[in-house]
Amino acid sequence: MSIHEEYDRVFKALASHIRRQILDDLKDQPLTTGALCEHFPDIDRCTVMQHLKVLEDAGLVIAERRGRERWNHLDAVPIQDIHDRWIGPHAAAAAAKLARFKQAVEAK
């Protein structure tokens, strides 16, 4: 899989507010699928598991089986990769332009 396809999977996964909420829920600690389902009372377990599958395919969630339970762990590395490739450089360029604009305004 190319790097562009990997980025596409991450962006697709992040496009859903439910998947972003799942990632937020996993930020501090791994959770079982059952615990995650309790965070989403308006959707059924099957739908939560479909969202988890998209997150796994994007490399954002790692599932671990412990007996009958499935523990879901956040893997933030793909998000960091997106930040390093897209957000950081674009933010730095925008900040530099704003700094030059500020200097030009203050020089007048």
* Residues linked to residue 62 through DSSP beta bridges, in sequence order: 73
The pLDDT of residue 61 is above 90:
yes
Name the pLDDT band for 104 (thresholds 50, 70, 90).
confident
pLDDT digits (tens, 9 = 90+) for 43-56: 999 999 999 999 99
Pick the closest to residue 60 from 27, 108, 101, 93 (CA basis).
27
- The ranges assigned to domains in the chain are 3-107
pLDDT value for 98: 84
Rounded Cα distance between 22 and 19, Å, is 5
| Residue owning tokens 């396809």 | 5
pLDDT digits (tens, 9 = 90+) for 70-92: 999 999 999 999 889 888 888 88
pLDDT value for 96: 84
Q: Are strands 31-32 and 61-66 parallel, antiparallel or unpaired?
A: unpaired
CATH of 3-107, picked from 1.20.1290.10, 2.10.70.10, 3.90.1150.10, 1.10.10.10, is 1.10.10.10
Higher-confidence position of 22 and 96:
22
pLDDT value for 27: 96
